[in-house]
Amino acid sequence: MSKVADALKLMKDEEVEYVDIRFTDPRGKLQHVTLVADLVDEDFFEEGFMFDGSSIAGWKSIDQSDMKLIPDAGSVYIDPFYAEKTLCVHCNVVEPDTGEAYSRDPRGTAVKAEAYLKASGIGDVAYFGPEAEFFIFDDVRYSVTPAKVAYQIDADAAAWNTDSEYEMGNLAHRAGHKGGYFPVNPIDEAQDLRGEMLSTMKRMGMKVDKHHHEVATCQHELGLIFGGLTEQADNILKYKYVIHNVAAAYGKTVTFMPKPMKGDNGSGMHVNMSIWKDGKPLFAGDKYADLSQEALWFIGGILKHAKALNALTNPATNSYKRLIPGFEAPVLRAYSARNRSGCVRIPWTESPKAKRVEARFPDPSANPYLAFAALLMAGLDGIKNKIDPGPASDKDLYDLPPEELAAIPTVCGSLREALEELEKDHDFLLAGDVFTKDQLEGYMALKWEEVYAYEHTPHPVEYQMYYSC
């Protein structure tokens, strides 16, 4: 109740007019309903708010549409973008008649994953540190009709505009393709924009540490300091929300698509993970790269289940435009303390407290609740079953002779393949009822719709290759 009291006090101190209750659909998009603040009291936080779940793709049918949102008072923050003072709160979804967690609620899955970790006895808390990249453009247009399938993007800062004519002249300072990491301004044109994004997050109570230009033209990243699984999934949604809205205020547009343009690096969401038990880091030890045996087993679980994980950590057809060799893409199911071309990296650190494992294949199109929960479940399966990850790969994996490279397994090459792998390999997700079969079936049905839409649509490059055949 202290969190509820704190939330109500914040409402009073800030003279809040509205309360925005927020939840997440299966694909990971933030949804909201805004209430007059007078309706929000202690009973509201306990009893929740009814809504129509049939309007959310992949959830209930119209004849079973009644659902309830239960606010998490510990997640409140003041929205920095609304004209009227508004308090935001993230919610879990429950069945109104039983009060039980709705099996398809992504945030509920994250909460259950944290509870499962504690119940397993392996650890008390799992810390997650996601690093989500994104692109900033000035103009984006696309069309998907029977007569026209096309997209067009542009940005003043883009590498391809070095010879464009502008009314006020072309100042010519631009990062070239793969040259954005990371010269100072004026080549880095978005310093102030990123700074405002990060400052806005800090004012919202988020723990942040840095911002910088990324490798690709128009690509950027802001840094979040690690936190608990559900907390960090909340923060990724807030991260996207802030970035989209600050960019819009500058007259710009942001995308978290993994691969919005050809010929340059795509956007990933590297996920740093560690487990602690009894106040001590479980992953610190005397094995490879000063890891513990449990950390190596954790890596073994991730590598074993990587293809099934792809359906949750790389859930867009566009994800597999990024997961190809040659663009620093982590497509190989290998681990290393040095090599960035494998799926899993062990970042260097002097402190045992900072010892962690970094999954490099996820991308920011993922629903963070589902992706983080699935990564934890794969790692815990590795620890429970003592899955050996094999020897580390400290060579440049893309510089290996073809016969050696062929011996290293890869992640999936398409969303179709990832869904097929998830259908075959999902028992590790069902442990402790963290995920449910019903939830996975509903999720996969949504994703199969995306696969069919993509596969059934002619692509412009097919005209280039085949029109005159």
pLDDT digits (tens, 9 = 90+) for 20-44: 999 999 999 999 999 999 999 999 9
Measured distance CA(369)–CA(375) in Å, rounded = 10
Band (50; pLDDT cuts 50, 70, 90): very high
Using the predicted structure, report yes or no on whether residue 320 has a pLDDT greater than 80.
yes
The average pLDDT across 54-72 equals 84
* Confidence category of residue 324, pLDDT binned at 50, 70, 90: confident
pLDDT at 267: 96
The answer to whether residue 52 is catalytic is yes
Amino acid (one-letter) located at 453? A
Three-state SS annotation for 44-62: HHHHCEEEEHHHCCCCCCH
Query: pLDDT of 199-222, one tens digit each?
Result: 999 999 999 999 999 999 999 999
The binding site for Mg(2+) consists of 131, 133, 214, 221, 270, 358
Residues 173-192: pLDDT tens digits? 988 888 788 889 888 999 99
Q: Which of 238, 233, 250, 228 is nearest to 200 (CA)?
A: 238
Mean pLDDT for all residues in the chain: 94
Residue 340 annotated in active site: yes
Distances 367 to 94, 282, 347, 415 between C-alpha atoms, Å: 19, 27, 24, 15
CA distance 123 to 379: 12
User: Given this model, what pLDDT does residue 326 score?
Assistant: 59
Asked if 345 is an active-site residue, the reply is: no
Listed in sequence order, the residues at least 6 apart from 145 whose beta carbon sits closer than 8 Å to its beta carbon are: none
Residue 323 pLDDT greater than 70, yes or no = yes
The encoded tokens of residue 95 equal 């069945």
List the catalytic residue out of 114, 131, 234, 264.
131
Instruction: Check if the beta carbon of residue 428 is closer than 8 Å to that of residue 301.
Output: yes
Q: Is 90 a catalytic residue?
A: no
Q: DSSP assignment, residue 398?
A: G
Asked if 299 and 345 touch (Cβ cutoff 8 Å), the reply is no
Given the residues 72, 79, 294, 358, select the one marked as catalytic: 358
Domain ranges of the chain: 2-102, 125-466
Note the pTM of the prediction, 2 decimals. 0.96
* 449 annotated active-site: no
3 state SS of 137: strand
Residues shown for the chain: 469
Active-site residue flag, 138: no
Would you say residue 364 has pLDDT above 80? Answer: yes
Task: Point out the catalytic residue in the list 114, 133, 234, 264.
Answer: 133
Look at residue 259 and give its three-state secondary structure.
Answer: coil
Task: Please say if the pLDDT value at position 63 is more than 80.
Answer: no
CATH topology for 2-102 is Ubiquitin-like (UB roll) (3.10.20)
Residue 404 annotated among the catalytic residues of the structure? no
3-state per-residue secondary structure call for 344-368: EECCCCCCHHHCCEEECCCCCCCCH
Model confidence pLDDT, tens digit, residues 251-281? 999 999 999 999 899 999 999 999 999 999 9
Superfamily of domain 125-466: Glutamine synthetase/guanido kinase, catalytic domain (3.30.590.10)
